[in-house]
């Protein structure tokens, strides 16, 4: 069977945990607690209040937003 790689926003999760020292579940809950705010408003909050990089913040928000649509 071929190596199944994680794709999309979740592919950033191991790096986010390593870089910021918190489990991804914590970050996902922070974003969920801000809903129904707009995508970029939450990205900006993660960057300003938690010092996340843009790519990491965007990945977390994109994941939660996609999850919310299901």
Quick one: pLDDT at residue 69? 79
Give residue 8's region: left, alpha or beta (phi > 0; psi -120 to 50). left
6-30 mean pLDDT: 95
Closest CA to 39 of 18, 21, 54, 22: 54
27-43 mean pLDDT: 97
Quick one: pLDDT at residue 2? 52
Quick one: pLDDT at residue 6? 81
- The band of 45, judged by pLDDT with boundaries at 50, 70 and 90, is very high
For the cut 80, the answer to whether the pLDDT of residue 26 exceeds it is yes
């Amino acid at each position: 069977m071929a190596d199944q790689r994680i794709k999309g926003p979740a592919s950033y999760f191991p790096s986010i945990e390593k870089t910021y020292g918190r489990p991804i579940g914590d970050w996902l809950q922070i974003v969920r607690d801000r809903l129904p705010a707009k995508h970029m408003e939450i990205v900006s909050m993660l960057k300003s209040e938690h010092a996340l990089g843009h790519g990491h913040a965007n990945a977390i928000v994109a994941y939660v937003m996609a999850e919310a649509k299901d």
